[in-house]
Each structure stands twice: as C-alpha cells, then as structure tokens.
Amino acid sequence: MSIRTLIVDDSAVVRQVLSAVLGAAPGIEVIGTAADPVRAMTLMRRSWPDVIVTDIELRGMDGLAFVKQVMATRPTPIVVCSTLVGPGARAGLAVLAAGAVAAVAKPASGLKRYLEADSGHIVPAVRAAAAGPVRRPERPADPARTPGPGERPIVAIGTSTGGTQALERVLTALPARSPAVVVVQHMPEKFTAAFAERMNGLCAVEVREAADGDRVRDGLVLVAPGGRHLELLSDPMAGYRVRVFDGPPVNRHRPSVDVLFRSVAKAAGPAALGVIMTGMGDDGARGLLEMRRAGATTVAQDEATCVVHGMPKEAVAIGAVEREVPLPAIAEVIRSHG
C-alpha cells in the first residue's frame, strides 16, 4: 500500500522537485502540495496523509508552529526538509522536540540539483517515518500543566442583521461544557446587556455582557457591549481575557467584528474557531482572513439560512472561509472545536 504524502513548501520549485522525486519512488504517492499551512490544513481535512514533508520557513505560520498544530490535531509522521536543520541547529532540535520524526537538510542554493541528486536521503526518511511509531511531542514532566496562552480552544462569532435570532439558535444548542465564546453582535448601546441576560436564561452555557478584564473560560459566552469594541488578549495566568474599550468605529461599527477577529488571530492563532454569520456589509471579512492566515479554523453561515448574506459572502469572496455551513450545524462545529 502506498505511503500517501503531502508536501508543504513555499517554493514552487521545491514542491515540483520533491513531488517528482517522491512520486517516482516505489511505494510513495504524493497526494498533494501546499505553499502554506493554511492550504495544507484544508487539504488534510479532505484527505489526511500518512506522512507530511514540510519546510520550516513558510508563509503565514512557521513550520515549527505547523508541526505543533498537526501534532495537537492528529499526530502524524512529519519529515522536515529545510535549510535550517543542519547538525546541532536549534531549529532542527525544536521541530524534533515538537514531534517531527526526521529533519533533512537542504542547501540554500542549487536546490533543484541537490534534491534530485540527494533523493537517497529524503526517500528513506519518508519510508522510515511511515513505518515507525508517531513521535509524541516532548512535554514537561508535570502532567497537570495548565495550557498556556494561545493553547486553549476559543470561539469568536461575528454577526449583524438577523444575528440575534441566529445567535439564539446557536447558543441554546450548546452544552454547559462548551468551549469559551466571544461575540460581536452589531447592536445599540444598552441593548446588549438585555440580550445577554435573556440568553443566559435560555442557555446551558453562561452568557453575559463583557466587562473590561473579564477572564475567558469554557462554558462562558461574552457579548461585546453596544458602543464599545471587544478584543481578546493572552493572559499568562488565565489563558485569555478580554479588553473592552472606546474607539472610533471600524467599518462603520462599534463594536466591530474585524476588531475582535484580528485580536483573536493574534492571541489564539490555531487554537481559535472563527464564525461569521448573517449580516449586512463586510465587517469581519478581513479579520476572519487574518484568523485563517494565523491557522484558525474559519466557517461562515451559508446563504440559504442567512437573513442577509452580506458579511459571510464578503468573507468567502476574499478567501477567509474554509467552509460554509447551515445555521443548524454551527453549534455542532463549536462543540467539536473543544
């Protein structure tokens, strides 16, 4: 049975040469190539490879972070092929500690000629990776280690016109032990507190209007106050907390979905799930794209179930969305993220 291999490298030449070298080796099948981790994760969700060959220097997310994301999502044999993994190189040691099974060096110049001539290293590395046990990442001895900033699952939701009804449908379907959720719903000042209070009475999760400095935790939904922006921040003690602040409108809105999503991209990266739902305009589209580039999972409510498809449509148009889902399925997406 062939070893199904995915190649991740931002160099088109390297992708082409590695595809040719590995594809010509008996027992190895190249099932796809990707220029960056975001595209790689999209391909992997469709068809998970037996072995991943990746560089360290990648667009949008470095290879070390990509290795860590893969090992946290679904441990898979990974061979790193990079100019940064010579003997004793810190980068090579770091990727091996993160869970990669092998690190193969490549030169800074003459890559095509080198890779073609040096297939005797990369081909056995892929075969050995597929045959051996998956290496678990090295972890501190304390099994009760508290997840650090950027490691806890977090869900960010942005919505506008039609959003109060859509949020009710989603939030009432969440169990009490759901991942933490932060929400921007375009709503006038003073209305958000009443909305959060009403949702709190209907939901198994706790729902409340966010206050500056609130800690974010599982089973809690924080709703941005009307007339103020909401950001997610890393907190060494709590994992995440929120910042509620005044500021000029962004995309004509305060709170703005873009402000929230951009902060989530920075604070949480691959640990985040971004959800853009029914609403008019384009607020949130560019912020969701930043989340996707940071390795987050991103979904949009589909057109058929939106009151207004404006915000999800704009996000899809710029490549910010991995998949579109109907409103009834969004709660399940959130539950599975935890």
Active site residues: 160, 186, 283
Separation in Å, CA 314 to CA 40, 143, 255, 301, 321 = 23, 44, 19, 12, 10
Query: If you ran DSSP here, which 8-state letter would residue 320 be given?
Result: -
Q: What are phi and psi of 279, to 5 degrees?
A: 170, 155
As a whole number of angstroms, the distance between CA 135 and CA 97 comes to 9
Separation in Å, CA 196 to CA 168, 205, 220, 326 = 10, 11, 11, 23
For residue 319, the Cα-to-chain-centroid distance in whole angstroms is 14
As a whole number of angstroms, the distance between CA 336 and CA 338 comes to 5
| Cβ count near 93 (within 10 Å) | 12
Separation in Å, CA 142 to CA 39, 71, 145, 331 = 35, 19, 6, 34
Residue 259 neighbours by CB under 8 Å, 6+ apart: 184, 229, 230, 231, 247, 250, 287
